[in-house]
């Protein structure tokens, strides 16, 4: 593999916490973000600007953002915030966000269940947000939900994802992230789709977001790496899941991805001992954090 630097975008504070039964106060969410920064994660999806009625765990993300800015450790961390619509964009901008992640959909039913918009309306909103963000100096990441399989409509036609990529990759976005929202993809499928997209758009335009429902998330990371992808979303403790996508379970664990990449000689900037501390904190705060597979082995290695 050519380039050995990989970006891990930590999504635990958003994807991880949004579906937990225990709702954390802002102070707990802030502690988790700080622990992740201390572990060397340089990109963190810290929260979302969504309806607090729809996702109570993400209420007061504006307060979290303020706290993050007030005590920023050394300015090297990029915090992004998930937004579902233009209202979310406005709230993120008002709060001072520098990076937003807008969601579009590879299935009509998933779009309607998640944000009560059609796929095309979500794409129109994303285009509008990209235009506004350009003027506001805000970075936009576009996430393609259910890129492989939809819990309502089943297998997703790769042509849909190609059409979305054609529409967004050159629209001035930072990255197009293909999400396996319910963790249904397999490595062969990932290799084929990401290989084709990387051939057309270049792997640097792309990222992947895998859930581990069928225990294939780490294998999917590897398949995407082989296709040249160097951006992966993952979640501390393997926390995660979408409240609006039945069957969605945890994200691929940051611990597992970090250890695999390091052993393969790739550079992520992550400190394993501090990552374990963040993982323990995630467990303490949520009362549950499955932690992927490698956590106990790692504990033996770092001697804690
Ligand atoms: N941030 C905060 N509040 C929002 C919002 C946003 N991005 N988008 C809509 N709202 C509020 C509206 O102001 C309204 O508030 P009110 O009841 O106090 O008047 C309420 O949500 C419902 O709005 P409505 O116009 O009926 O619905 P909508 O179609 O505009 O939007 C959703 C509703 C679906 C976008 C909203 O429920 C939502 O934020 N869902 C979260 C999706 C999510 O996070 N999924 C998981 C991650 S992919
Ligand atoms: Zn997810």
Q: Using CB atoms within 10 A of its CB, is residue 56 exposed (0-12), middle (13-18) or buried (19+)?
A: exposed
Q: Kindly report the protein residue whose alpha carbon is nearest to atom 47 of ligand 1.
A: 242
Ligand 1 atom at minimal distance to the Cα of residue 143: 48
Q: Is the CB of 47 under 6 A from ligand 1?
A: no
State the average pLDDT for the chain: 95
Residue 8: which of 262, 298, 242, 287 has the closest Cα?
Answer: 262
Look at residue 1 in the predicted model and tell me its pLDDT: 45
Look at residue 92 in the predicted model and tell me its pLDDT: 98
Q: Is the CB of 56 under 6 A from ligand 1?
A: no
Question: Is residue 247 predicted with pLDDT exceeding 90?
Answer: no
Residue 228: which of 204, 211, 210 has the closest Cα?
Answer: 204
Question: Is residue 242 predicted with pLDDT exceeding 90?
Answer: no
Tens-digit pLDDT profile for residues 155-212 = 999 999 999 999 999 999 999 999 999 999 999 999 999 999 999 999 999 999 999 9
- Which residue, chain included where needed, has tokens 């706290």? 67
Question: Is residue 74 predicted with pLDDT exceeding 80?
Answer: no
The pLDDT > 70 percentage for the chain reads 98
Whole-structure pTM over 0.75, yes or no? yes
Look at residue 243 in the predicted model and tell me its pLDDT: 85
Look at residue 73 in the predicted model and tell me its pLDDT: 64
Active site residue 208: no
Question: How far is residue 26's CA from residue 56's CA, in Å, rounded to a whole number?
Answer: 12
Residues 6+ apart with CB under 8 A from 178: 144, 147, 148, 161, 193, 194, 197, 206, 207, 208, 209
Q: Looking at residues 252-273, what average pLDDT do you find?
A: 97
Question: How far is residue 194's CA from residue 248's CA, in Å, rounded to a whole number?
Answer: 22
Q: Is the CB of 106 under 6 A from ligand 1?
A: no
The pLDDT confidence band at residue 76, using thresholds 50, 70 and 90, is: confident
Q: Is the CB of 92 under 6 A from ligand 1?
A: no
- DSSP string for the chain: ----B-EEEE-IIIIITTT-SSPPPHHHHHHHHHHHHHTT--EEEEEE-S-TTT-GGGTTHHHHHHHHHHT-SSS-PEEEEEESSHHHHHHHHHHT-SEEEEEEESSHHHHHHHHSS-HHHHHHHHHHHHHHHHHHT-EEEEEEETSSEETTTEEPPHHHHHHHHHHHTTTT-SEEEEEETTS---HHHHHHHHHHHHHHH-GGGEEEEEB-TTS-HHHHHHHHHHTT--EEEEBGGG----TTSTT--PBPBHHHHHHHHHHTT-B----HHHHHHHHHHHHHHHS----TTTHHHHHHHHT-
Look at residue 291 in the predicted model and tell me its pLDDT: 84
Q: Is the CB of 114 under 6 A from ligand 1?
A: yes
Look at residue 168 in the predicted model and tell me its pLDDT: 98
Look at residue 70 in the predicted model and tell me its pLDDT: 85
The pLDDT > 90 percentage for the chain reads 90
Ligand 1 atom at minimal distance to the Cα of residue 242: 46
Between 1 and 130, the higher pLDDT residue = 130
Look at residue 289 in the predicted model and tell me its pLDDT: 81
Cα dihedral sign, 16-84-204-159:
positive
Look at residue 248 in the predicted model and tell me its pLDDT: 84
Question: How far is residue 157's CA from residue 147's CA, in Å, rounded to a whole number?
Answer: 9
Question: Is residue 290 predicted with pLDDT exceeding 90?
Answer: no
46, 84, 93: which to mutate for ligand 1, most atoms within 8 A of CB? 84
Residue 240: which of 294, 181, 160 has the closest Cα?
Answer: 181
Tens-digit pLDDT profile for residues 121-150 = 999 999 999 999 999 999 999 999 999 999
Tens-digit pLDDT profile for residues 78-101 = 999 999 999 999 999 999 999 999
- Which residue, chain included where needed, has tokens 């992004």? 80
The pLDDT confidence band at residue 72, using thresholds 50, 70 and 90, is: low
* 52 CA → ligand 1 middle, Å: 8
**Quick one: which ligand is closest to 243's CA?**
1
Domains of the chain in sequence order:
7-303 (3.20.20.70)
User: Exactly one of 242, 259, 276, 278 is catalytic; which is it?
Assistant: 242
């Amino acid at each position: 593999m050519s380039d050995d630097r990989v970006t891990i975008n930590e999504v635990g504070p958003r994807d991880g916490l949004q579906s937990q039964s225990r709702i954390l106060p802002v102070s707990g969410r802030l502690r988790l973000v700080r622990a992740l920064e201390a572990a060397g994660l340089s990109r963190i999806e810290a929260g979302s600007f969504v309806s607090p009625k729809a996702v109570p765990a993400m209420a007061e993300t504006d307060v979290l953002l303020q706290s993050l800015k007030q005590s920023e450790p050394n300015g090297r961390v990029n915090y992004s915030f998930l937004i579902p619509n233009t209202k979310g964009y406005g709230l993120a901008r008002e709060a001072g966000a520098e990076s937003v992640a807008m969601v579009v959909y590879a299935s009509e039913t998933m779009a309607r269940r998640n944000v009560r918009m059609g796929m095309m309306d979500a794409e129109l909103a994303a285009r509008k947000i990209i235009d506004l963000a350009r003027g506001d100096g805000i970075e936009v990441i576009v996430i393609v939900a259910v890129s492989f399989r939809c819990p309502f409509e089943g297998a997703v036609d790769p042509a849909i994802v190609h059409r979305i990529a054609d529409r967004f990759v050159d629209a001035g976005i930072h990255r197009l992230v293909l999400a396996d929202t319910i963790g249904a993809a397999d490595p062969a499928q990932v290799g084929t789709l990401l290989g084709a997209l990387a051939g057309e758009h270049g792997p640097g335009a792309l990222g992947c977001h895998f859930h581990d429902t069928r225990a294939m998330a780490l294998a999917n990371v590897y398949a995407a790496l082989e296709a040249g992808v160097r951006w992966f979303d993952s979640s501390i403790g393997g926390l995660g899941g979408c409240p609006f996508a039945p069957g969605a379970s945890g994200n691929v664990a940051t611990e597992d991805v970090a250890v695999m990449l390091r052993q393969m000689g790739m550079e992520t900037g992550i400190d394993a001992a501090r990552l374990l501390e963040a993982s323990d904190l995630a467990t303490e705060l949520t009362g549950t954090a499955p932690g992927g597979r490698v956590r106990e082995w790692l504990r033996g290695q770092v001697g804690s």
